[in-house]
Structure 1
Amino acid sequence: MSTKLICIVGVTGNQGGSVAQRFLADPTYRVRGITRDPSSAAAQKLASQGVEVVAGNLDDVASLIPLLRGANLIFSVTNYWEPFFRPDARAKAQELGVDCRRYAYDVELQQGKNIVDAAAATVDSLADNGFVASTLSHAGKCSKGAFKELYHFDSKADVFPYYVEEKYPELAKKMSYVQTGYFTSSYKLAPEAYLGKQPDGSFQMSFPTSATKPIPHLAVNEDTGNFVYAVSQMPPGKHYLAAGAICSWSEFMRVWGEVTKQVAVFKQVSIDDFIALQQDRWFGVEAGDMFAYSSEPGYDGGDESLLKAEDIRKVMHVMDERDG
């Protein structure tokens, strides 16, 4: 019997959809999914599977409060790339005299704050670890100012955790933060840089990242739900790195070549060379900074205290032995 309610903000996205599927498999949960367009094909499919799909406007905090009311668990994810690529958003950025990178930062930052403000209104209904937020490391802080404009990292981290901790200490006590690794599906956004076919028929990955730097990788649709479900059963106040594998890009290409039986190599290139491979220059600038940041201090900001899947397994093993 469903006795608990999870509200998923961004349920039709890669992360939100994965989380919905995992919690649908637990009969003790009712799943409410918040999305901009409940009539979309993705939303309708989730509804047919048992998700209560509701319309929510992340730009309007007042509209979110009743949607989250009574939640025992909230999972939220915000989307920098939606306003980044949207033509009308780019026109608005130009009207305001800012580039599309900064505009998307402002949109995602405010949407994240709105989610937090709405969640704070139902803090008493939340479980001890009742709000799991998808986020990234803070590039500006972790790089000591070397990366001041890695906007799609800082737009998340400026809210999760910094805004929460500053404005809502009681909510912060009930939260966990999950940094997601590089999506294994991201090659679709930059195919020439990920898998550029060379004149001799071989494939070359071309990133401004050190060839030997360990990189976290996540099969977002397959693994996010399982990871978040496990995190929800852990004590609150922890920070995690969601990754199914951690290996360098050169090792990534070595394995890809073995599996596909193709000649495949990794080459570290300059940010300018990376930008030149992209159809959208602004995407090249934003992503190029991300790949460079991944070298130093690292994609996770160099934070060695982040908990990983093996840490969760250890805790779960101890809990099973105690309960058994």
Structure 2
Amino acid sequence: MSPDAMEHERKTGAVMSIEKKLIAVFGATGNQGSGVVRALKANGQFKVRALSRDPGKYKGPADEVVAADLERPQTLVTALEGAHGVFLVTNFWQEGVDEVKQATAAIQAAKAAGVDHLIWSTLPNVEVISNGKLNLPQFTGKAKVDAIVKEAAFAHYTFVVPPAYYQNFSGQFGPQPQPDGRLSFVRPIDPAARCFHMGDIAELGHIVTGAFAHPDETGDGAYLPLVGDFLSFNDIVDSLNQLGHRITFTEVPRAAFAGFFPGADALAETLAYFEAYTYLGPGSHDDAIALANRVAGRTPTPFASWARDNFQLGMASGS
């Protein structure tokens, strides 16, 4: 073999020997996890392992799929074997779920597996923010896991904060026909209150990928919110009407709204929190948003741009 050929083989072998770091993604079939898998694959720096309760049904682009059930901690040992990083999300809306219990099991399994970087999808602690006046377990339950992540003492750990999904202002969650024929958002909230930190949930994966790629900037407990827009209901309606829709907003008292449908009072409680404190809570979030966008390498899509291509009336949407 010639010296040139030997040198080529040496360099090629060195490159091939550098394996991509493996990232294990919980909730790989859900709104957050599926976007994380897509973004990690598109980035090209990582090998992606989708974690699913039913791996035989997984159809996504992950490099591999492994069985993992947060209700069965014994399945998590194998699921996280060899993982450099873990993206962890739990589903409050799954019947019978104890998010703190599930997340704790996953965190313990990740620590035992030697995971270097854990990213937890969290939300603000409404119980603390409101001094116990408001009860949003879907927020506070996730927030209580933050301390468990910190105490686990991973080499790197990061918190990502999903937004109020654009998708949840469309379709079956969007404006509905009224007796007078109008399409209207009917909610117990001041439509002028600018309080919604919003975004396309499919884009959360860009921030997660950026966090894994830049642990020096994000891996010491940084909070990275996805925010494509910060709007009021008036802003939302104006944006939609500029696209040619004819939509109004109707403010109703909470007592009346609570009887509209099962779960309406819980939604009213959520909106009361937003109106009083905003989605992300009091204080400035500019630095955290800027860091999230910087590591993601992009600015999230504004609501009007998303709505131009995705807004639907009266059809089911993702949550």
Q: Distance in 2 between matches of 1:235 and 1:264?
A: 41
For structure 2, the residue ranges without an aligned partner over 5 or more in a row are 1-15, 298-319
Indicate yes or no: 2:268 matched with 1:256.
no
The counterpart of 1:145, out of the listed 132, 138, 158, is 132
- Partner residue of 1:156? 142
- Partner residue of 1:60? 72
Q: CA, structure 1 residues 189+64, in 2 after alignment: closer, same or farther (shift >3 Å)?
A: farther
Residues 8 and 32 in structure 1, CA contact (< 8 A), matched pair in contact too: yes
Q: CA, structure 1 residues 163+272, in 2 after alignment: closer, same or farther (shift >3 Å)?
A: farther
Q: CA, structure 1 residues 303+54, in 2 after alignment: closer, same or farther (shift >3 Å)?
A: farther
- AA partner of residue 257 (structure 1): N
- Partner residue of 2:273? 293
Q: CA, structure 1 residues 112+315, in 2 after alignment: closer, same or farther (shift >3 Å)?
A: closer
Identity %: 24
**Deviations, residues 62-104 of structure 1 (Å, cap 9, x unaligned):** 3212211221111111101121xxxxx5xxxxxxxxxxxxxx4
**Deviations, residues 216-247 of structure 1 (Å, cap 9, x unaligned):** 112112x1111211233233211121121111
Q: Distance in 1 between matches of 2:255 and 2:227?
A: 29
Residues 58 and 64 in structure 1, CA contact (< 8 A), matched pair in contact too: yes
Indicate yes or no: 2:234 matched with 1:217.
no
Q: Distance in 1 between matches of 2:32 and 2:264?
A: 23
TM-score by length of 1: 0.77
- AA partner of residue 281 (structure 2): G
Residues 11 and 34 in structure 1, CA contact (< 8 A), matched pair in contact too: yes
Indicate yes or no: 2:227 matched with 1:246.
no
Q: CA, structure 1 residues 189+56, in 2 after alignment: closer, same or farther (shift >3 Å)?
A: farther
Q: CA, structure 1 residues 277+238, in 2 after alignment: closer, same or farther (shift >3 Å)?
A: same
Indicate yes or no: 2:133 matched with 1:133.
no
Alpha-carbon RMSD = 2.3
Cα distance, 1:275 vs structure 2: 2.8
- Partner residue of 2:305? none
Indicate yes or no: 2:18 matched with 1:35.
no
Runs of 4+ deviating beyond 6 Å: none
TM-score by length of 2: 0.78
Cα distance, 1:115 vs structure 2: 1.3
Q: Distance in 2 between matches of 1:177 and 1:265?
A: 36
Residues 197 and 278 in structure 2, CA contact (< 8 A), matched pair in contact too: no
Q: CA, structure 1 residues 195+313, in 2 after alignment: closer, same or farther (shift >3 Å)?
A: closer
- AA partner of residue 205 (structure 1): F
- AA partner of residue 136 (structure 1): L
> 1:96-111 alignment to 2 at 5 Å?
104=97, 107-111=98-102
Q: CA, structure 1 residues 306+285, in 2 after alignment: closer, same or farther (shift >3 Å)?
A: farther
Aligned length: 275
Counterpart of 1:243 in 2: which secondary structure? coil
Residues 89 and 121 in structure 2, CA contact (< 8 A), matched pair in contact too: yes
Q: Distance in 2 between matches of 1:32 and 1:316?
A: 20
Q: Distance in 1 between matches of 2:99 and 2:76?
A: 15
Cα distance, 1:309 vs structure 2: 4.2
Q: Judge which range, 203-212 or 7-16, deviates more.
A: 203-212
- Partner residue of 2:91? 79
- Partner residue of 2:113? 122
- Partner residue of 1:174? 156
Residues 25 and 88 in structure 2, CA contact (< 8 A), matched pair in contact too: yes
Counterpart of 2:120 in 1: which secondary structure? strand
Residues 26 and 88 in structure 2, CA contact (< 8 A), matched pair in contact too: yes
Residues 149 and 157 in structure 2, CA contact (< 8 A), matched pair in contact too: no
**Structure of higher CA gyration radius:** 2
- Partner residue of 1:12? 29
Q: Distance in 1 between matches of 2:293 and 2:69?
A: 36
Q: Judge which range, 149-158 or 60-69, deviates more.
A: 60-69
Cα distance, 1:189 vs structure 2: 8.0
**Deviations, residues 249-290 of structure 1 (Å, cap 9, x unaligned):** 21011111221x232222333333333332xx2x22322211
**Deviations, residues 124-145 of structure 1 (Å, cap 9, x unaligned):** x41xxx1111111011011111
